[in-house]
Chain A
């Protein structure tokens, strides 16, 4: 094992020891001290654009305000995350961000899960001294899964960076300059006409309501969802994800950074491939074929018929004329029961998966 050297620093009066190379933000988080962030995502390289993660660092007799998300923790640092100076400046930073942000939280799909809303509430930013009415609004895009509202973008760059750093797809970027700066595809093309793979990673990282899951728009807000932790049913990676449920409906799929093995990342299938669950084509009743046509049956009728037929065939030809195919789409428990059923209930070892891939 390579030993990583440690550094010791003081945060809000607490002594904190972390591995060399960690940021002040990580050091604070490691002892449960929360510093607010907007442009930070642990999956990404530090970017230091929003400045809400501001902290105060002692430098001899004076002190300085620096962003904690991109400052390396070093030996002997003395840091305050909650001094008056920090809180005042942070409030001002928030005011500036809100100066250019719509106030329509009442109809925003992100309401309740929006980091900006939380911070505005926490810091009591009701009015902004700089208010400008933002332009733009919801963009028309043929893509069926990602909705972009330009007016809500705070230019934190998270969407662009996750697309470039994690996805390495480079479908979106910053455009224009100064007050005109915005994010998006080149020439405002539809995502469908770019290299975009519709992974929705950009949606997953957007801290505000600028990027949201289109299919879930209007179907519920954060506090209404029951989030059920489960494992993706598509490929063998087995990503951990949350089904967001309202009523008896899966409204959207999300994940969390730190989850194993995917660290909050999901692909297009896991994130957006859930609507088969409620598809009208789902089989809803047992079916028995009569004169070449399927007819609805009750569970009793169907199961009794299957038991009877399998029993007859076993009696007439022997158990080894019956086989069971089980599935890589079923759970472990179901696969175990399927093989137990073949061996113990029918009495044959003819059990297999047909797609062994």
Chain B
């Protein structure tokens, strides 16, 4: 990584004091409403907004500069901003000299990436790109915020690094209200990653490639650990596809709804000899299970979540488990005991104590300390107050590293047969596959059906009216849904939210993944719309 850590470098409470916010590939008013409110506070205090998004979202309407970037071309936009910063001498020379490496390589690389060239790919006027570069570089407190619009691409990691280049060029990092901030989508995705639910690392970012780590855990857990590299979820599905994978234990996830290319996911699950699903509702995935284990909701258990600003916060049991359900932690323990590996914890508190004792990043956090307010990691000891913003004075990896990253086209672009660019996202009123929100009377009153946003001009050419039911198809499948015709999306682009089982957009999306994080490319594929006659 560019800095050595992939989390928000600032805190939510710092947002209101930003002088410039560059929002790229994220729609906080809908996906992270309370972060949206903090940004609105900044807006009231005169913060300048630059918004790069294919859709004219709320902040785009209130921005100083709106850059309607074509999905999949963020690389051109970001590299050309770097070009302008260097060409106009706006870079922070002192910062580059003392805290970074690889500047000369980047300089040579972006030399030819002019705003004019970038304009051809992104669809953004060259002058706007120049303007964005100047505003960003010159502001006293510039912060970049991004979400899935940046990461859900085959070049997701490249995009993140290209963003980091801008912060390193200008020194807009490691200070309050100044930095680079990915906002996490689902509630505890930060925590799931922190806790080592990834094949290559233990919790607290302790990599298994380090023999000392493996030995440390063998001792602590009193078990011999496998040295074989683990498979990511896309690799597991690939192996299912080849009939080379036998059993899966799915806890609280719904891959049939959330993975791209639904047909392929279902086919894979069907090849398994044994599928266990643990959830609170009968999910689409659970239908293919051999055994379903009923779990409790967050209101029926104790524990912690870690939010997008790295804050470990308490979840508290408010009611007794509904019906015959059990909390996930208890089910896992009981299963482990039956499999001959003892897991014996009176409550989640003792689990946390073990977590803290085995990871320096969380060592200073315990339930007593987070009784009233959560603590932001890193927190190495119980005297440490936690860390509000990262990389002050020094990066986690030492020097900040510039990355030279040429444009890579999406795995599938629109063509003659599927001429529209389909991109996906989330709405304010729903969450994930909608299993929770769609069972909420309060919420379904506002929106309870799927829709596709279509540009006016495209709609006219296709003879489609606002509100009409249409068929949307890609190489992988088709769905029927309602058309919402407006100028919110640019011509040639359509947008569909991902929460609806009956019109699951992941029937259409492509199972192509980022080369490093293996995040799926939900943001770009070719599609077409047809009238239903």
What are the residues of chain B within 8 A of A285 when measuring CB–CB?
Answer: 294, 323-324
What are the residues of chain B within 8 A of A305 when measuring CB–CB?
Answer: 291
What are the residues of chain B within 8 A of A145 when measuring CB–CB?
Answer: 442, 445
Q: Which of A46-54, A73-81, A98-106, A325-333 contacts B (4 or more CB under 8 A)?
A: A325-333
Known contacts A243-B299, A281-B281, A344-B223: does B336 contact A265 (CB below 8 Å)?
no
Interface residue B439 (Cβ < 8 Å from any Cβ of A):
yes
Interface residue A64 (Cβ < 8 Å from any Cβ of B):
no
Q: Contact at A287–B291, with CB atoms within 8 Å?
A: yes
Interface residue A323 (Cβ < 8 Å from any Cβ of B):
yes
Cα A282 to Cα B187 with chains together (Å)? 20
What are the residues of chain B within 8 A of A282 when measuring CB–CB?
Answer: 280-281, 294, 297, 322-323, 325
Cα A294 to Cα B35 with chains together (Å)? 42
- A50 shortest CB reach to chain B, Å: 24
Interface extent on A, as a size class? Answer: 35 or more
What are the residues of chain A within 8 A of B35 when measuring CB–CB?
Answer: 237
Q: Contact at B332–A327, with CB atoms within 8 Å?
A: no
Cα A199 to Cα B354 with chains together (Å)? 39
Interface extent on B, as a size class? Answer: 35 or more
What are the residues of chain B within 8 A of A330 when measuring CB–CB?
Answer: 188, 192, 251-252, 328
Q: Contact at B339–A307, with CB atoms within 8 Å?
A: yes
Q: Contact at A143–B445, with CB atoms within 8 Å?
A: yes
Chain A-chain B contacts (Cβ-Cβ < 8 Å), number: 464
CB within 8 A of B248: which of A167, A236, A322?
A322
Known contacts A285-B324, A339-B203: does B247 contact A326 (CB below 8 Å)?
no
Interface residue B316 (Cβ < 8 Å from any Cβ of A):
yes
CB within 8 A of B518: which of A304, A320, A329, A356?
A356
Q: Which of B120-128, B136-144, B224-232, B449-457 contacts A (4 or more CB under 8 A)?
A: B224-232
Q: Contact at A276–B297, with CB atoms within 8 Å?
A: yes
CB within 8 A of A329: which of B33, B187, B232?
B187
Least CB separation from A167: chain B residue: B37
CB within 8 A of A283: which of B276, B282, B290?
B282
Known contacts A306-B291, A348-B230: does B311 contact A238 (CB below 8 Å)?
yes
Q: Contact at A235–B31, with CB atoms within 8 Å?
A: yes
Interface residue A130 (Cβ < 8 Å from any Cβ of B):
no
Q: Contact at A351–B442, with CB atoms within 8 Å?
A: no
What are the residues of chain A within 8 A of B259 when measuring CB–CB?
Answer: 354-355
Q: Contact at B199–A322, with CB atoms within 8 Å?
A: no
Q: Contact at A326–B197, with CB atoms within 8 Å?
A: yes
Cα A275 to Cα B444 with chains together (Å)? 11
Cα A345 to Cα B344 with chains together (Å)? 13
Known contacts A269-B429, A276-B439: does B314 contact A303 (CB below 8 Å)?
no
Q: Contact at A281–B439, with CB atoms within 8 Å?
A: yes
What are the residues of chain B within 8 A of A230 when measuring CB–CB?
Answer: 298-299, 314-316, 318
Q: A279-B439, A287-B289 are in contact. List 6 more A-B contacts (CB 8 A).
A: A229-B316, A236-B183, A306-B249, A322-B248, A324-B249, A331-B191
- Chain A residues packing against B (C-beta within 8 Å): 142-145, 165-168, 192, 197-199, 215, 226, 228-240, 243, 245, 248-250, 260-262, 265-270, 272-279, 281-289, 294, 297, 299, 302-307, 309-311, 313, 317, 319-357
